[in-house]
A and B are shown apart, each in its own frame.
Chain A
Amino acid sequence: MKSNASVSDRIFVILVYVILGGLSITTLLPMMQAVTISLSPPEVVNSYGFHLIPFEFDFTGYERVMQYGALWTAYGNTIVRTLLGTLITLIMTFLGAYPLSKRSLPNRKLWTGVIVLTMFFSGGLIPSYLLIKGLGIMNTMWSLVLPGAVSAFMLLIVRNFIIGLPESLEESAKIDGANDIVILFRIVLPLSLPIIATVGLYSGVGHWNAWFDSMIYIQDEKKQVLQMILRKILLEGQDVSVEAGAGSTAQAVNSETVKMAALVVSVLPILLVYPFLQKYFVKGTLMGSVKG
């Protein structure tokens, strides 16, 4: 008999579904609009009203984007940066969190305290710039990947997660003669796949979307990341002051169609990756937040 659920429960469920439905629509609509505009001819783009489903198709936007060399170079840069950055972050976060999770680490509280302190203070923009310059990694991939490789917040989450693993596993491994390194690789790592996926996803998405550091540290246009080139394409022709002050006649500015096509092309990979990592994502965040 289904009348286990009382009326108020049913209403609650319906309410939740309505809210979720509303949120989903709010999230989906802009994406649908972007995809539709990327496929529509200019007169449709200029017409009033919602553009949610394309009725007339115009692929010149995508053609133009395919030819846009700068976009593809930037794509490559972003992919390299994301993979390299995520790898470095994972390795370093893990190697940092594992010792901190051991109760037998001397001065454990001190180390944890120092790391937590860094979460609150930051030097600011100019000191960071001078630091990167002084290190000599300006205008290279390392300036994008090394600063902020380890997020203190992520470190603590991973540490909590490892603390949550049963101690008996490690003790029995020790009895069998394993040292710490072996325990890390053979036992802790395989069990931590959810948290690895979480940290990997956070870090990966962060790197994929990052643009500010690229803007400051990278001077060569060939080394810019995707978001910078995308931003440049999208902001073209928005402000009259650029044309008025520069003293040039209107040159060929990318139409809305091309801009949206560039947007869709940039967002697609992450959009496709998310569903596969999603189940780890939910599990990982939950486990990381539960204490011992």
Chain B
Amino acid sequence: MRNATKKIAGIALALTMGFGLLSGCAGGNNGTNGASGTNDGGVQSTEGSETTTPAPASPITLKWLGYDSYGQPNPDSYVVKTVEEKFNANFDFWYVDSQKWEDNLNVRLAAGEMPDVLKITNRQNLPKYINQGILAPIPMETLEAHAPTYVKFLNDNYPEVWDGVKYQGEIYAIPMTNLNGSYPTVVIWRQDWLDKVGITKIPETIEEYEEALTKFRNEDPDGDGQKDTYGLSDFALPNILGAFGYPGITDFKGAGKGDASKSIQFTMKDDNVVITAIQPEMKEALSLLQRWYKAGLIDPEFITSENTTGYWADSQAFYNSKIGITGMSMFYHWRNQMNPDIVDDQGGGQYKAFKESVPEGEASFGVPAVGPKGASGTPMWDTASHPIAITTEAMKDPAKLELLLKMIEAAVTDYEYYLTLTNGEKGVDWKMEDDKFVNLSASDSLAEANVKGKNVLNAKVSYDPFIKQRDAFDYKFADENAKTSGYNAVYVPNLETFSKHSNTLNKLTVEAYFKIITGEESVDYFDEYVATFRANGGDALEQEANEAYKAMVGK
């Protein structure tokens, strides 16, 4: 009896399992609808494409990924509610971890989901998104109709940013700008060392630089009786390269880590686009650096960078009195004048760290070295920031594009509204004291700011007049101290040749530059390097870049 029951039970169980398996197969996995995983807490999500009229009747829902997502915005925050009321809209926030942006976003796009408003982190992805059917062209007339002030602002100040959002002549995204891109990276000297060795004028020419750095090396400026000081390390190298022409490597640490964008850049020469690393003037620059290295002016540990830990702009070598000049960061990192309106202002973050390590030290701003032919400059950051695109799914409802443009227009016409978008609730996160902006929540990290709704709904609009009004002290300081010469790369549209060859070319460049500077190879090795570079795709890349640029610009 027992055995029979067992058998029946066993067969029944097996059949159930079997049916379970089969039903799973028949169910059909349609992973298209974005409704399952992406809804945030208490936000109503209407089917976007079914909204009837843009009139106050029903709010328009926008699936929003048009921000730097360091943290997930709280839909009930003051900022979000204010914007929703102002425009009769509803926001459904997508959150993609900013550190693994591309991987995470690509998985979701591959599964068929797409937001309405999308930030394009890497302009090189534009053609890819267009081919995947995610982006649709935006007519210039629509932009001018709904966001005239913003378009005028772009045309007057940053006409070059339109290039980055065009593909085959059509505009696919709304360009965003970066005010800090118009200030070159800084040159910072150890002022107390300059005083100690008797140099009264901030060095300007390359000869004055050499004099100062030689004295730093040999005359014991830190007064500890040991020859443990050097002149410069890797942060200041692009400055020296810039005295001869466009720096072949703009970020030695980044290039060394394998980031090809830090060494394979383009510039214009006689109306043609050329690759900067292989230009003949770099040979002269490298021979000078080789001589300096032999004389001990360059810290031998420059290979592992003067930044050994922590935030990328920290220069441990500079803080520990090992070198006398640094660079690579922006004016706001090293601001050494205190803002009288901020309580306990200690200046820029890096200046503060420096003063904590060396309380009696002093850091001052310098100018990039001027070379024998009059060239000078430090690398500059891009003036173009991440463009904001509206996806094909959103384009089905023209009211959505209009809403986005209206939001952008409002951000550039209403100062207090702009402040709310970027800095939070008036009275809580910031306040106005006699027309001066006072930040009450300056210690919020980027993630916490996003949670409060800050820097989320301004669609990355960075409006110079408002920024200069808000941070008046900082930009006044910048205009006085940091408007030095700089080099800005030419924007070349995405090329397959670039993705194919950039890693090899970067490795070649890093090896060659490091070997020549340390003296492992003679200066003439540069010619060998150029030949190898050209043979390994460098020539093809240069030619294609030139053609693509001319086609884009329309020559």
| Residue among B37, B94, B314 with most chain A CB within 10 A | B37
Contact of A220 among B95, B254, B357 (CB under 8 A): B95
B330 contacts which chain A residues (CB < 8 A)?
Answer: 249-250
Task: Assess whether A235 is in contact with B99, with CB atoms less than 8 Å apart.
Answer: yes
State whether A251 touches B72 (Cβ < 8 A): no
Complex interface bits, B233-266 against A, C-beta within 8 A gives 1, otherwise 0: 0000000000000000001001000010100000
In whole angstroms, how far apart are the Cα atoms of A138 and B113 in the complex? 14
Whether A134 contacts B104 by the Cβ 8 Å rule is: no
- A246 and B471 CA atoms in complex are apart in Å by 18
Which of these binds chain B: A43-51, A163-171, A262-270? A43-51
Q: Tell yes or no: A286 within 8 A of B by CB.
A: no
CB-CB under 8 A for A46 and B320, given A215-B104, A216-B107, A251-B449: yes
Chain A residues with CB below 8 A from B316, complex form: 46-48
Q: Does A282 make an interface contact (CB < 8 A)?
A: no
For the complex, what is the distance from the CA of A253 to the CA of B445, rounded to whole Å?
A: 6
A138 / chain B contacts, CB cutoff of 8 Å: 36-37
- Of A41, A139, A231, the residue contacting B37 (CB under 8 A) is A139
Contact residues, B76-112 vs A (CB, 8 A): 94-95, 97-100, 104, 107, 110-111
Given contacts A46-B319, A231-B99, contact A255 B31 (CB under 8 A): no
Chain B residue numbers with a CB within 8 Å of A249 are 180, 330, 332, 471, 474
Contact size range, A: 35 or more
Which residue from chain B places its CB closest to the CB of A244 in the assembled complex?
Answer: B381
| Given contacts A133-B31, A220-B40, A255-B310, A247 and B181 within 8 Å (CB-CB) | yes
The distance from the CB of A234 to the nearest CB of chain B, in whole angstroms, is 10
Chain A positions within 8 Å of B251 at CB level:
240
Say if the beta carbon of B511 comes within 8 Å of chain A: no
Whether A252 and B442, one on each chain, are in contact in the complex, defined by CB atoms closer than 8 angstroms, is: yes
Least distance between B154 CB and chain A CB atoms (Å): 14
Chain B CB within 8 A of A109 CB: no
Bound CA–CA A162/B322 (angstroms): 64
Q: Quick check: A253 and B381 within 8 Å, CB to CB? A: no
**A221 at the A/B interface (Cβ < 8 Å)?**
yes
* Selected interface stretch from B127-135, B171-179, B270-278, B402-410: B171-179
Q: Using Cβ atoms and an 8 Å threshold, which residues of chain B touch A219?
A: 37-38, 94-95
Tell me, in angstroms, the Cα distance from A41 to B357 when the chains sit together: 10
Known: A221-B95, A251-B444, A251-B445. A237 touches B312 (CB 8 A): yes
Q: Does chain B have a CB within 8 A of A239?
A: yes
CA A136 – CA B24 in complex, angstroms?
A: 13
The reply on B207 being an interface residue by CB < 8 A is: no
Given known A-B contacts A240-B254, A244-B382, A45 and B309 have beta carbons under 8 A apart: yes
How far in angstroms is the closest Cβ of chain B from A35?
A: 16
**With contact pairs A220-B40, A247-B460, A254-B445 given, residues A242 and B386 touching in the complex (Cβ less than 8 Å):** no
Q: Are B95 and A228 in contact (CB under 8 A)?
A: no
B36 and A133 form a contact (CB under 8 A): yes
Most buried by B among A41, A134, A254: A134
Residues on A with beta carbons closer than 8 Å to the beta carbon of B36: 133, 136, 138-139
Counting CB contacts under 8 A, is A7 at the interface? Answer: no
Contacting residues of chain B (100-149) with chain A, CB-CB under 8 angstroms: 100, 104, 107, 110-111, 121
- Min CB distance A55 to B, Å, is 15
Main secondary structure of the interface of B (DSSP, over half): loop
In the assembled complex, how far is the CB of residue A135 from the closest CB belonging to chain B, in whole angstroms?
A: 9
A253 CB → nearest B CB, Å: 6
Q: Which of A238, A246, A249, A250 has the most chain B CB atoms closer than 10 A to its own CB? A: A246
**Complex: A48 Cα to B471 Cα, angstroms:** 35
A235: B residues at CB distance < 8 A: 99
Contact of B98 among A46, A134, A238, A242 (CB under 8 A): A242
- Collect the chain B residues with CB atoms within 8 Å of residue A136's CB: 36
- A236 — which chain B residues lie within 8 A by C-beta? 445-446
A126 at the interface (CB under 8 A from B): yes
Say whether A126 contacts B320, CB under 8 Å: no
Query: What residue in chain A is nearest B471 (Cβ atoms)?
Result: A249
Which residues from chain A contact B444 at a C-beta distance below 8 Å?
251-252
Q: Which residues of chain B are near A117, meaning CB under 8 Å?
A: none
Q: Is A247 a contact partner of B385 (Cβ separation < 8 A)?
A: yes
Residues of B within 8 A of A126 (CB): 107, 110-111
Tell me, in angstroms, the Cα distance from A131 to B27 when the chains sit together.
Answer: 12
Q: Quick check: is A275 within 8 A (CB to CB) of the other chain? A: no
A70 interface residue per 8 A CB criterion: yes
Q: Which of B30, B176, B311, B332 contacts A247 (CB 8 A)?
A: B176
Cα(A157)–Cα(B411), bound, Å: 63
Select which of A131, A228, A247, A250 is within 8 A of B333 by beta carbon.
A250
CB distance from A96 to the nearest CB of B (A): 13
User: What's the Cα separation between A252 and B177 when bound, in Å?
Assistant: 22
**What is the bound-complex CA distance between A220 and B445, given in angstroms?**
19
Minimum CB–CB distance from B343 to chain A (whole Å) comes to: 16
Residues 423-460 (chain B) with a chain A CB within 8 angstroms: 442-447, 449, 455, 460
**Given A45-B309, A47-B320, A133 and B462 touching (CB < 8 A)?**
no
Whether B254 lies near A215 (C-beta < 8 A) is no
Q: Does B299 contact A (CB under 8 A)?
A: no
In the assembled complex, which residues on chain A have CB atoms less than 8 Å from the CB atom of B222? none
Which 10 residue pairs of A and B lie closest in terms of their CB atoms, listed nearest first?
A: A247-B178, A134-B29, A138-B37, A247-B385, A221-B72, A237-B311, A43-B356, A244-B381, A133-B31, A43-B357
A: residues with CB less than 8 A from B are 41-43, 45-48, 70, 125-126, 129-131, 133-134, 136, 138-139, 215-216, 219-222, 228, 231-232, 235-256
Supplied contacts A41-B356, A221-B71, A238-B311, 18 more A-B pairs, CB within 8 Å = A46-B310, A46-B353, A46-B356, A130-B111, A133-B37, A219-B37, A219-B95, A240-B254, A246-B178, A247-B179, A247-B385, A247-B462, A248-B455, A250-B332, A250-B348, A250-B349, A251-B446, A255-B310
